[in-house]
Structure 1
Amino acid sequence: MARPKKTDAPDLAERINLTAGAIERLACPDGKQQAFMRDSEAPGLRVRVTAAGAKSFVYEAKLNRQTIRRTIGDVKLWSIEQARTEARRLAVVLDNGQDPREIERQKQAEKAAEKAAAAAKAVTVGEVWAVYLEARQPRWGERHYKEHLLLVKPGGVASNRAAGGVTAPGILHPLMAMPLRHLKAPVIEAWAEREAQTRPAAARLAWRCLKAFLRWCAEQPVYATVLSSANPAKTNKARESLGKAGVKQDALLKEQLPTWFAAVRQQQNPVIAAYLQTLLLTGARAGEVLGLRWDDINTKWRGLTIRDKVEGTRVIPLTPYVWSLLAALPRRNGFVFSSTTAAGGCIVIPRNPHHDACAVAGIDDLTIHGLRRSFKSLTEWLEIPAGVVAQIMGHKPSATAEKHYTVRPLDLLRMHHERIEAWILEQAGVTFDSASEPSKLRAVL
């Protein structure tokens, strides 16, 4: 049989001693996507050629009656001897009953785990806080989410309302730049002791949020490895530094109603005057009233839809005097208590105007939230059922009968609520004809 010429293409049906020339002459037969040339020196070593002309060393063998094929490397980067050495190594692995592909996958998984662990060690508290907020936002209300943003704001923004002309950083902002792995108990205890000196109430709220954040981190595999087993924020020293919140008692007395109403109704801004009176007469939370939109007012059934932070929404009666206050307001946009200057379209909680009104009325230490407390306290004079007051204010039922068996329709609530409003106005000396029709809504351009 005649020896094939050196210029002929290699016979792919036979094993041959791989040489550079044979590899160079190797070509993929017409009609095929790839072809293999087998080496006679190292069992399992192949040179693969594709229809596009790409050539690489591969190793091919059987394991548990299945073909195992593994790419070694490009023929331009690997020498023939290097490829044979690698093929022999893979043969030893197979001879031990191991799959080289699985070994490689394990190595890649280990490298990925090491890389993730290194990244977790380097990640900052602020970066994880952003991930935490993104994960929890669907389960939170908008206000709760914004409060978490304010806790870590950098501050330094020019503001006429802020002390010193610039906004202060959020109370948790000093912790955001440090690596998460450094957020240990001594660091949090030092933070708690420092912040408790100037703003203990805000520090207690931030501490509770920080504990929830670290509890979430401990549940995430990528962050759990860099935290200690116990929640580093949950220590007795931090708790003692922050102290306990005192029970607030600020509320309007029955005798203070005339001077309070007189001072509030003299406010230059009618929107603020209406807002403060609505707070007192509905017992709603400050943010709930602030977010009222014109679409929330149902004049047909005389209902007011409140965006409740606990239940989502609740509907309370639209009492006559409150409706007269709201109907008289300018309709600038979708918000009832609108503003032409505020970025959000509605007024901000008017703490300073209310403080000034209380000063005029001679009332000390009455906060905005104290108006909600006042509503509950004043209803005691009328012996209104506690469940009715709780439903109007948006408190959760405290008894099984209230929670599962008592259903109060809007009309029943209205009977009690209008009685409360009429009595408060009577004690305040405010003359109001409940049968009069409120002025029509007017649009302000």
Structure 2
Amino acid sequence: MEHQNFTAQRVASFRCAPDKRQSLFWDAKTPGLGLRVTGTGAKSYIFETKLHGKTLRITIGSPASWPLSKAQDEAARLKVMTDSGQDPRQVKADEIAAKKSAAAAMTAQEARETIIVGRAWNEYISAMKPTWGALHLHDHVRAMQAGGEQRARSSKLTEPGALASLAEIRLIDLTTECMTAWAKIEGAKRPARARNARTLLSTFLNWCIAHPIYGAIVTSNPTQSKEVKKHLGKAAPKNDSLQREQLSAWFNAVKQIQNSVISTYLQTMVLTGARPNELVSVHWGDIDFQWNSMTIKDKAEGLRVIPLTPYVAHLLASLPRRNEWAFSSPTSASGHLVEPRIAHDKACAIAGLDVTLHGLRRSFASLCEWIEMPAGIAAQIQGHKPQGVREKHYIRRPLDLLRVWHVKIEKWILGQAGIDFSPTITALHRVK
């Protein structure tokens, strides 16, 4: 029996259940070494002494794991530490912290030497994807795509993205010199796309700087260098929009698009002035055919409700219900439209026009001037932030007031486009 080598100099008995009581036996040869025996018969060696005027007790281990001679050596070691004023618990905690620090430093060093841009980029997309719109996500994927894959509707292969040449570079090597060399090549080949890619990469690097691991690798943002921006040039301000006399040609070309979802999407953009990524993420549950309203995820306010005008309701009601998305796509991974720009560019080429998707949003704002629609109403339909004290704090427009003007501008646009549409037809096509 282990406690035969101990003397019962003190027996500690506590007022608690019998199985919780403890007895302590002390080794006469080794100062501070004791054997603790619980009410259930469990035994363990302990070390007890005074440190800075307070009792310090440390569990050494069970006799099954600690032979008496080793327990005595451990107690002697702890005694030397406490006699010198050291707290063994703090010493142990410091050792653990030092090991963790060394392991973290080794992990950081391995990260600096091995993590490439493409790997961090994919992690960045996964982290930010829930907060992005579909088109914004698509821009990130396309910017870093390797290319060489078969296109869905063409025999041509996909081209490498503007950032593809950086994918295999170590994150630590993404310096100003590296970015300047990239800007010279991409700026000469495709400046507009390169400028957009630089913006995406800049936001990504800012994310890396705040990252717990990548922050030790990326300490500055080389995309902000004047030299990099110089080689990419400045984007010319875009003022593209549909003029009144162009509406007929544009609608005729867009209505000929074979894909009815894309055709409806483009017409809805002109007639609502919504942002491109707002419309593609509209669910069927966001469209109320009974009360003629549509809820859109808003960039400024989170959500906004706009009138569902007769012609737009007619177009939406005729769309196929493949899934939860109003503007669905059976070929995209997301289930909804991702790249309607290609079809729109072809339609514009047929009509002899040069208008971007955002130009359609600009067109709605400009065309509203023809019917002298109040600027605040057009802005609210489009999801612009209120401007001025009255708009911000006093004007509260009900949906029916927006509807009066929204129906009026839709009727005017359709009239200019030569589209003869009777609102009564809409009821025949509504989907309950």
- Which TM-score band (shorter chain)? 0.7 to 0.9
Shift of 1:38: 5.5
Q: 1:138 to 1:344 in 2, by over 3 A?
A: closer
Aligned letter for 1:109?
A: A
Secondary structure of the equivalent of 1:313?
strand
8 Å contact 2:133–2:281 — kept in the other structure? Answer: no
Task: Provide the residue aligned with 2:392 in structure 1.
Answer: 403
Q: 1:128 to 1:367 in 2, by over 3 A?
A: closer
Deviates more, 1:129-138 or 1:104-113: 129-138
Listed one character per residue, the Cα deviations across residues 29-67 of structure 1 (whole Å, up to 9, x for unaligned) are: xx8999877655553356789999999876443323222
Q: 1:56 to 1:149 in 2, by over 3 A?
A: farther
CA distance in 2, matches of 1:271, 1:410: 26
Task: Provide the residue aligned with 1:12 in structure 2.
Answer: 6
Deviates more, 1:52-61 or 1:349-358: 52-61
Task: Provide the residue aligned with 1:22 in structure 2.
Answer: none
CA distance in 1, matches of 2:351, 2:122: 45
Task: Provide the residue aligned with 2:186 in structure 1.
Answer: 195
Which structure shows the bigger proportion of residues in helix conformation? 2
Identity %: 45
Task: Provide the residue aligned with 1:213 in structure 2.
Answer: 204
Secondary structure of the equivalent of 2:57?
strand
Shift of 1:378: 2.1
Task: Provide the residue aligned with 2:413 in structure 1.
Answer: 424
Secondary structure of the equivalent of 1:292?
coil
Secondary structure of the equivalent of 1:66?
strand
CA distance in 1, matches of 2:31, 2:182: 67
CA distance in 1, matches of 2:335, 2:128: 26
Q: Greater Rg, structure 1 or structure 2?
A: 1
Shift of 1:335: 3.2
Deviates more, 1:410-419 or 1:337-346: 337-346
Task: Provide the residue aligned with 1:240 in structure 2.
Answer: 230
Shift of 1:93: 1.9
CA distance in 2, matches of 1:8, 1:297: 80
Shift of 1:302: 1.9
Aligned residues between the structures: 419
Task: Provide the residue aligned with 1:355 in structure 2.
Answer: 345
Give the one of 289, 293, 296 matched to 1:299: 289
CA distance in 1, matches of 2:2, 2:252: 110
Q: 1:74 to 1:234 in 2, by over 3 A?
A: farther
Q: Does 1:101 align with 2:95?
A: no
Task: Provide the residue aligned with 1:389 in structure 2.
Answer: 378
8 Å contact 1:331–1:442 — kept in the other structure? Answer: no
Secondary structure of the equivalent of 2:224?
coil
CA distance in 1, matches of 2:287, 2:225: 47
Secondary structure of the equivalent of 2:6?
coil
8 Å contact 1:283–1:373 — kept in the other structure? Answer: yes
Aligned letter for 2:346?
A: D
TM-score, normalised to structure 1's length?
Answer: 0.78
CA distance in 2, matches of 1:306, 1:50: 68
Give the one of 243, 247, 255 matched to 2:245: 255
* CA RMSD between the two structures: 3.8
CA distance in 2, matches of 1:192, 1:376: 35
CA distance in 2, matches of 1:89, 1:280: 82
Q: 1:290 to 1:109 in 2, by over 3 A?
A: same
CA distance in 2, matches of 1:248, 1:289: 21
Shift of 1:108: 0.9
Secondary structure of the equivalent of 2:60?
strand
Secondary structure of the equivalent of 1:98?
coil
8 Å contact 1:49–1:55 — kept in the other structure? Answer: yes
Q: Does 1:67 align with 2:56?
A: yes
Q: What is the correspondence of 1:105-184 to structure 2 with a 5 Å cutoff?
A: 105-123=93-111, 124=115, 125-126=117-118, 128-129=120-121, 132-133=124-125, 136=128, 139-141=131-133, 144=136, 147-153=139-145, 157-161=149-153, 164-165=156-157, 167-184=158-175
Task: Provide the residue aligned with 2:365 in structure 1.
Answer: 376
Aligned letter for 2:397?
A: R
Q: 1:386 to 1:341 in 2, by over 3 A?
A: same
Shift of 1:431: 1.8
Shift of 1:155: 5.0
Q: 1:99 to 1:72 in 2, by over 3 A?
A: farther
Listed one character per residue, the Cα deviations across residues 315-358 of structure 1 (whole Å, up to 9, x for unaligned) are: 22222222222233344443333445555444444333323322
8 Å contact 1:58–1:73 — kept in the other structure? Answer: no
Secondary structure of the equivalent of 1:334?
coil
Q: 1:413 to 1:265 in 2, by over 3 A?
A: same
CA distance in 2, matches of 1:431, 1:302: 21
Q: Which runs of 5+ in 2 are unaligned?
A: 10-18
TM-score, normalised to structure 2's length?
Answer: 0.80
8 Å contact 1:328–1:439 — kept in the other structure? Answer: no
8 Å contact 1:58–1:69 — kept in the other structure? Answer: yes
Task: Provide the residue aligned with 2:275 in structure 1.
Answer: 285
Aligned letter for 1:321?
A: Y
Q: Does 1:440 align with 2:429?
A: yes
Shift of 1:112: 0.7
